[in-house]
């Protein structure tokens, strides 16, 4: 679990980032910031339903995982740099929806599962002080279930075992 010290470090990084963006001198940083804000406005605030039909998409759902990642990570970034509640509201509603349905969306493909875990972890880290306890608990449970439990399940971890990562 993240502690307040780690959350304070994230706060300091965001503060420094906002200061550098405001200066407007670092072209690479400005391009990245404008790109993230564009994604947040287009996808992070989207009300378009994201669905995954396991029967129709038996092989992969990477497009769905990427939509989820774009939506929650971009809105979390936008909230942190602007403080606008509309971004936080979208993160909260989407994290609740996706975390509640996380198990239904998982596959035997580790890329998709890891992309979702990574996205949830970023949201947890970046928005730690703004997340209700119930949302934090959902994120932790989803990451633990998919990122850890499945990796230790012999029926699901063939790839993990063949990489030599597991002793």
Answer whether residue 3 shows pLDDT above 60.
Answer: no
* Cβ neighbour number for residue 27 with a 10 Å cutoff: 8
The pLDDT value given to residue 48:
82
Place of tokens 């002080």: 129
Percentage of the residues of the chain whose pLDDT score is greater than 90: 44
pTM of the model: 0.81
Answer whether residue 7 shows pLDDT above 90.
Answer: no
Query: What CA–CA distances, in Å, run from 139 to 101, 110, 129, 136?
Result: 11, 18, 14, 5
Answer whether residue 8 shows pLDDT above 70.
Answer: yes
Distance separating the N- and C-terminal Cα atoms of the chain: 25
Cα-Cα-Cα-Cα dihedral sign, residues 96, 100, 102, 105? negative
Answer whether residue 92 shows pLDDT above 90.
Answer: yes
Instruction: State both tokens at 97.
Output: 């929806």
33-88 pLDDT per residue, tens: 999 999 999 988 888 877 665 555 554 555 777 888 889 999 999 999 999 999 99
Distance CA 156, CA 107 (A): 9
Answer whether residue 160 shows pLDDT above 80.
Answer: no
């Amino acid at each position: 679990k993240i502690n307040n010290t780690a959350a304070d470090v994230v706060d300091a990084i965001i503060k420094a980032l906002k200061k550098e963006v405001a200066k407007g001198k670092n072209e690479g940083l400005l391009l990245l910031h404008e790109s993230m804000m564009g994604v947040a406005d287009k996808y992070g605030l989207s009300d378009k339903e994201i669905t995954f039909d396991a029967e129709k998409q038996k092989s992969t759902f990477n497009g769905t995982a990427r939509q989820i990642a774009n939506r929650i990570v971009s809105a979390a970034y936008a909230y942190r740099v602007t403080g606008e509640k509309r971004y936080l509201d979208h993160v909260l509603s989407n994290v609740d929806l996706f975390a509640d349905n996380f198990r239904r969306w998982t596959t035997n493909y580790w890329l998709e599962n890891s992309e979702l875990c990574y996205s949830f972890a970023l949201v947890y880290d970046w928005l730690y002080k703004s997340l209700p306890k119930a949302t934090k608990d959902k994120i932790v449970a989803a990451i633990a279930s998919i990122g850890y439990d499945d990796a230790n399940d012999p029926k699901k971890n063939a790839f993990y075992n063949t990489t030599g990562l597991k002793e």
